Structure 1
Amino acid sequence: MFIVSFPYAVHQGGYWSIVAMVLIAYICCHTGKILVDCLYETNPMGRLVRVRTSYVEIAEHVWGRRYGARLVNMAQIIELLMTCILYVLLCGDLVEGSFPDSPLSLSSWIMVSTVPLLACAFLTSLRRVSWLSFWCTVAHMLINLIILIYCFIRAPHWHWGDVKLRIDVWTLPIALGIIVFSYTSQIFLPTLEGNLTDRSKFACMMHWTHVAAAVFKALFSYIGFLTWGLATQEVITNNLPHPSFKIVVNLILVAKALLSYPLPFYAAVDLMQTALFKDRSKPSSEGGTLFPSCMDERGMMKVWGLALRLLLVIFTTMLAIIIPHFSLLMGLIGSFTGTMLSFVWPCYFHLKIKWYVLRWPARALDIGIIVLGFLFGTVGMYYSAHALSRAFRGLPPEPIHGL
Structure 2
Amino acid sequence: MLCLSPQGMFVLGLPYAILHGGYLGLFLIIFAAVVCCYTGKILIACLYEENEDGQLVRVRDSYVDIANACCAPRFPSLGGHVVNVAQIIELVMTCILYVVVSGNLMYNSFPNLPVSQRSWAIIATAALLPCAFLKNLKAVSKFSLLCTIAHFIINVLVIAYCLSRARDWAWDKVKFYIDVKKFPISIGIIVFSYTSQIFLPSLEGNMQKPSEFHCMMNWTHIAACILKGLFALVAYLTWADETKEVITDNLPSSIRAIVNIFLVSKALLSYPLPFFAAVDVLEKSFFQEGGRAFFPDCYGGDGRLKSWGLSLRCALVVFTMLMAIYVPHFALLMGLTGSLTGAGLCFLLPSLFHLKLLWRKLLWHQVFFDVAIFVIGGICSISGFIHSVEGLIEAYKYNLHD
TM-score (norm. length: structure 1): 0.94
Aligned to 2:288: 278
2:261 corresponds to 1:251: yes
The letter of the residue matching 1:394 is: Y
State the distance in 1 between where 2:152 and 2:134 align: 25
The letter of the residue matching 2:369 is: L
Conserved? CA contact 2:20–2:178, under 8 Å:
no
Aligned to 2:156: 145
- Pick aligned residue for 1:388 from 380, 389, 392: 392
Aligned to 1:269: 279
2:215 corresponds to 1:204: yes
Trace 1:127-166 onto structure 2 (pairs within 5 A). 127-166=138-177
Aligned to 1:113: 124
2:236 corresponds to 1:225: yes
State the distance in 2 between where 1:112 and 1:312 align: 16
- Pick aligned residue for 1:324 from 315, 324, 328: 328
Ranges in structure 2 where 5+ consecutive residues have no aligned partner:
1-8
Aligned to 2:362: 358
The letter of the residue matching 1:206 is: M
2:93 corresponds to 1:67: no
State the distance in 1 between where 2:148 and 2:104 align: 20
Deviation at 1:249, TM superposition (A): 0.8
Q: Which moved more, 1:88-97 or 1:271-280?
A: 271-280
State the distance in 1 between where 2:287 and 2:142 align: 26
Trace 1:17-36 onto structure 2 (pairs within 5 A). 17-36=25-44
Aligned to 2:3: none
Deviation at 1:394, TM superposition (A): 2.3
The letter of the residue matching 1:188 is: F
Give the SS at the match of 1:187: helix
Deviation at 1:279, TM superposition (A): 4.4
Deviation at 1:133, TM superposition (A): 2.6
Aligned to 1:14: 22
Give the SS at the match of 1:53: coil
The runs of 4+ residues in structure 1 deviating greater than 6 Å are none
Conserved? CA contact 1:89–1:326, under 8 Å:
yes
Deviation at 1:32, TM superposition (A): 0.4
Q: Which moved more, 1:330-339 or 1:57-66?
A: 57-66
Conserved? CA contact 1:110–1:320, under 8 Å:
yes
Aligned residues, how many? 388
Conserved? CA contact 1:328–1:388, under 8 Å:
yes
- Pick aligned residue for 1:312 from 309, 316, 336: 316
- Pick aligned residue for 1:104 from 111, 115, 122: 115
Deviation at 1:384, TM superposition (A): 1.2
2:7 corresponds to 1:5: no
State the distance in 2 between where 1:138 and 1:300 align: 34
Give the SS at the match of 2:114: coil
The letter of the residue matching 1:172 is: F
Task: State, as a whole percentage, how many aligned pairs show the same letter.
Answer: 50
Conserved? CA contact 1:279–1:292, under 8 Å:
no
Aligned to 2:4: none
Give the SS at the match of 1:165: coil
TM-score (norm. length: structure 2): 0.95
Root-mean-square deviation (CA), in Å?
1.1
Q: Which moved more, 1:289-298 or 1:84-93?
A: 289-298
